[in-house]
Amino acid sequence: MQQPPEDFVNWYSSLKIVKVNKGPANGSIATALVVLGRLMDDFDLDFTSHVAKGGMQIKGASGNAVASILGFFGEERPFAKEGGRTNRGGPAEIKALLQMLEGLGLENDGKVERNEVLQNMQLFLINRVKDFHNRQKIKLIFNPILSTWYVVHNLLLTAISESKAGPVAQHLIGAKLQLRFPDIEVSNEAASTADMQTKRPGDFLIEDTAFHITIAPMQAVYEKCLYNISQGYKPLLLVPDNKLVGARQIAEQVIEQQIAVESIESFVSQNMNEISGFGKFELTNSFKKLIEIYNLRVDQAETDKSLMIELPSNLQ
């Protein structure tokens, strides 16, 4: 297949960059794939023909539709589960895409020639999906000389610098709970899944304790903790160490002595040390298991595989 027209590449380059993706939003690519596919059957460049009632969503943009197109090109990894339906900029981006296509004059070509151009555009986007999946994983520096607390702390700092701290913190706690309680089912949801969607009392629930993991504790998380208490649960709020003092002060103002607040670093590292019997060799093995469990959970719950942690050579 040939390269798509330069005007199409320019359209792609004009899309808003999402910092965490280091490129356009997944939904932007997803909706474009769906519309290009529809144009192969009916080359209708009228924008109104491609938007659902209300003009806020693109017709036919669903996770299944995107998966079908990806599968046609041999890409089986999950991508944009919502199919772009929640992408607010989607309609405007598709309108610009249709205007660009109108300028190319493809309606003057035969259907076979026209569809070859449209498929080249799809292939260009598929390659961007592959770039998304193949992005570099998070680097973990495991130095046995450092305290376990600092190993976890440095991992969080790396995640923060890459705008991935929220998902990393959640899945790290989930992996730690699974390692610590192998006989208990520890739920595994995408970090973007709201508690209300799954009717969960928190990010995790172990017996009567509702876990809330957040990088930036705001008022909403304390309200969730209050609701937990009203429902008979014990809330445990886990935050980065540099947010610990402030989070504890606010928790005491909200309700005295009923919201436990701990740092993510201490919660993970203390358990790792205990599981390892405070031995250096055992700690290395425990950290390897933790990262393996973490990566498995991320792979199961998240479409963004760059959230996975690269296992350093001294843990392999």
Q: Please indicate, yes or no, if residue 1 is contained in any of the structural domains.
A: no
Taking alpha carbons only, the member of 299, 88, 268, 263 closest to residue 190 is 299
DSSP letter at 58 equals B
Question: What pLDDT was estimated at residue 1?
Answer: 57
The verdict on 62 and 164 lying in the same domain is no
How many C-beta atoms surround the C-beta of residue 52 within 10 A?
A: 13
Q: Please indicate, yes or no, if residue 71 is contained in any of the structural domains.
A: yes
The verdict on 85 and 171 lying in the same domain is no
Q: Answer yes or no: are the C-beta atoms of 241 and 264 closer than 8 Å.
A: yes
86 or 164, higher pLDDT:
164
Mean pLDDT on 145-170: 92
Residue 18: in which H helix or E strand, if any? Answer: strand 17-18
Q: Is the pLDDT of residue 210 over 60?
A: yes
The verdict on 143 and 266 lying in the same domain is yes
Least confident piece of the model among 72-86, 203-217, 239-253, 286-300:
72-86
Residue 264, exposed/middle/buried by CB under 10 A (0-12, 13-18, 19+)?
buried
Q: Please indicate, yes or no, if residue 212 is contained in any of the structural domains.
A: yes
The verdict on 121 and 153 lying in the same domain is no
The verdict on 183 and 71 lying in the same domain is no
Question: What are the beta bridge partners of residue 236?
Answer: 211, 260
CB neighbour burial string for 25-37, b if at least 16 within 10 angstroms, e if fewer: bbbbbbbbbbbbb
The verdict on 168 and 222 lying in the same domain is yes
Q: Please indicate, yes or no, if residue 82 is contained in any of the structural domains.
A: yes
Q: Please indicate, yes or no, if residue 232 is contained in any of the structural domains.
A: yes
Please give the tally of structural domains in the chain. 2
The verdict on 179 and 107 lying in the same domain is no
Q: Please indicate, yes or no, if residue 262 is contained in any of the structural domains.
A: yes
How many C-beta atoms surround the C-beta of residue 295 within 10 A?
A: 20
Boundary-marking domain end, from 106, 133, 160: 133
Question: What are the beta bridge partners of residue 26?
Answer: none
Question: What pLDDT was estimated at residue 211?
Answer: 96
Q: Please indicate, yes or no, if residue 215 is contained in any of the structural domains.
A: yes
How many C-beta atoms surround the C-beta of residue 134 within 10 A?
A: 11
Q: Which domain holds residue 233?
A: 138-315
Instruction: Name the pLDDT band for 94 (thresholds 50, 70, 90).
Output: very high
For 298, residues 6+ apart whose C-beta sits below 8 A from its C-beta are 167, 171, 305, 307, 308
Question: What pLDDT was estimated at residue 86?
Answer: 56
The verdict on 71 and 143 lying in the same domain is no
The verdict on 303 and 254 lying in the same domain is yes
The verdict on 304 and 161 lying in the same domain is yes
Q: What is the pLDDT of residues 303-312, one digit of tens each?
A: 888 899 988 8
Does the global pTM surpass 0.85?
Answer: no
Q: What is the pLDDT of residues 3-14, one digit of tens each?
A: 889 999 999 999
The verdict on 152 and 297 lying in the same domain is yes
Q: Please indicate, yes or no, if residue 162 is contained in any of the structural domains.
A: yes
Boundary-marking domain end, from 113, 133, 153: 133
Alpha carbon distance 156, 146 (integer Å): 15
Q: Answer yes or no: are the C-beta atoms of 9 and 120 closer than 8 Å.
A: no
Instruction: Name the pLDDT band for 161 (thresholds 50, 70, 90).
Output: confident
Q: What is the pLDDT of residues 164-192, one digit of tens each?
A: 899 999 999 999 999 999 999 999 888 87
The verdict on 192 and 113 lying in the same domain is no
Which tokens hold the place of 270?
A: 């203390």
Boundary-marking domain end, from 78, 100, 133: 133
Which tokens hold the place of 77?
A: 């990894």
**Phi/psi at 244 (nearest 5 deg)?**
-65, -50
